[in-house]
């Protein structure tokens, strides 16, 4: 399945200063609870379980999870990576207390980075925004693996089309977002996600909560 630069751009274009101002309420407040049936505190808990004091977050949105999770160290190294400068700016301001590094990069391409490697990488709600099938979007796993120290953990969650139970509202909203290019998860199935992680990482764990698959995997 070929990917155009327009499709890649569409997966991040919706995140402007204005929409980011509403994101926490609309997505993390209303949609997670009532539509995707995976409450935001469950995702914060996933961060708390896996984040380390040497962390890279990719597809940062508003930076909500970095702001709300528990950091084990008072001065962690936090790096932000996104294809969208508005999200990088928004999240950087929000967690300015950690003096984050910020990198404008496309996760679907090899990622040149002249910086020390990371012990944890978070990709929450990123994969359902990037185009094509799980097999081809899993190129992101390879690109991120190259930035991780031995034993580092990749974790996050993604909304799936197949292998999860979706209520009527979830089906309608996913279809709408897919038509707009905001989501690209029509071909995303739980089995494909497990296989793509299993081929690249060890200690793979995938748990379904509502429409979301919460995963973690080690280099
Ligand atoms: C749904 S938001 C998730 C935000 C946040 N992680 C959360 O869970 O609330 C998706 C994020 O992925 C970013 N993104 C989309 N496509 C990308 C790509 N190809 N490379 C890097 N970031 C991308 C968007 O700009 C946006 O910040």
Question: What string of pLDDT tens digits covers the 219 residues of the chain?
Answer: 568 888 888 878 889 999 999 999 999 999 999 999 999 999 999 999 999 999 999 999 999 999 999 998 989 999 999 999 999 999 999 999 999 999 999 999 999 999 999 999 999 999 999 998 999 999 999 999 999 999 999 999 999 999 999 999 999 999 999 999 999 999 999 999 999 999 999 999 999 999 999 999 999
Quick check: CB of 123 below 6 Å from ligand 1?
A: no
Per-residue model confidence (pLDDT) at position 113: 95
| Structural contact between residues 158 and 126, judged by C-beta atoms closer than 8 angstroms | yes
Query: What is the separation, in whole angstroms, between the first and last Cα of the chain?
Result: 27
Nearest CA to ligand 1 atom 13: 59
List strands edge to edge, sheet with 101-104: 101-104, 77-82, 54-58, 118-122, 148-159, 212-218, 202-209
H helix count then E strand count, the chain: 9, 7
pLDDT the model gives residue 1: 54
Q: How far is the CA of 63 from the centre of ligand 1 (A)?
A: 10
Nearby residues of 145 by Cβ (< 8 Å), 6 or more positions away = 154, 200, 201, 219
The percent of residues above 90 in pLDDT, for the chain, comes to: 92
63 lines ligand 1 (CB under 6 A): no
Helix (H) or strand (E) holding 216, with range, is strand 212-218
DSSP β-ladder status, 101-104 and 202-209:
unpaired
Can you give the pLDDT at residue 11? 79
Q: Report the distance separating Cα 23 and Cα 29, nearest Å.
A: 9
Burial class (CB in 10 A: 0-12, 13-18, 19+), 9: middle
Burial of 115 (0-12, 13-18, 19+ CB in 10 A): exposed
Quick one: residue 194, left, alpha or beta (phi over 0 = left, psi -120 to 50 = alpha)? alpha
Domains and CATH numbers, the chain: 5-218 (3.40.50.150)
- Relative to the CA of 123, which ligand 1 atom is closest? 6
- Cβ of 82 less than 6 Å from ligand 1: yes
What is the tens place of the pLDDT at every residue in 162-192?
999 999 999 999 999 999 999 999 999 999 9
Please tell me the residue having the least CA distance from ligand 1 atom 24: 12
Distance, in Å, from the CA atom of 45 to the CA atom of 184, rounded to the nearest integer, reads 26
Q: Strands 148-159 and 77-82, how do they pair? A: unpaired
- The residue contributing the CA closest to ligand 1 atom 18 is 106
Q: Which of 126, 155, 178, 212 to mutate to test the pocket of ligand 1 (most atoms within 8 A of CB)?
A: 126
Residue of 3, 6, 9, 12 to mutate, ligand 1, most atoms within 8 A of C-beta: 12
């Amino acid at each position: 399945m070929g990917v155009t630069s327009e499709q890649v751009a569409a997966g991040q274009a919706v995140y402007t200063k204005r929409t980011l101002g509403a994101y926490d309420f609309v997505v993390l407040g209303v949609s997670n609870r009532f539509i995707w049936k995976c409450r935001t505190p469950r995702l914060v808990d996933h961060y708390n379980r896996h984040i380390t004091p040497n962390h890279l977050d990719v597809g940062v949105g508003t930076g909500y999870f970095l702001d709300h999770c528990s950091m084990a160290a008072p001065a962690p190294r936090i790096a932000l990576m996104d294809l969208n400068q508005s999200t990088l700016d928004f999240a950087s301001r929000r967690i300015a207390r950690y003096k984050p590094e910020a990198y404008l990069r496309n996760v679907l391409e090899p990622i040149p980075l002249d910086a020390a490697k990371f012990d944890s990488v978070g990709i929450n709600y990123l994969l359902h925004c990037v185009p094509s099938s799980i097999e081809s979007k899993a190129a992101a796993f390879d690109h991120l693996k190259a930035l991780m120290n031995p034993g580092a953990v990749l974790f996050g969650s993604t909304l799936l089309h197949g292998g999860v139970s979706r209520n009527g509202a979830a089906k309608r909203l996913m279809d709408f977002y897919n038509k707009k290019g905001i989501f690209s998860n029509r071909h995303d199935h739980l089995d494909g996600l497990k296989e793509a992680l299993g081929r690249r990482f060890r200690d793979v764990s995938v748990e379904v909560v509502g429409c979301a698959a919460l995963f973690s995997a080690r280099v």
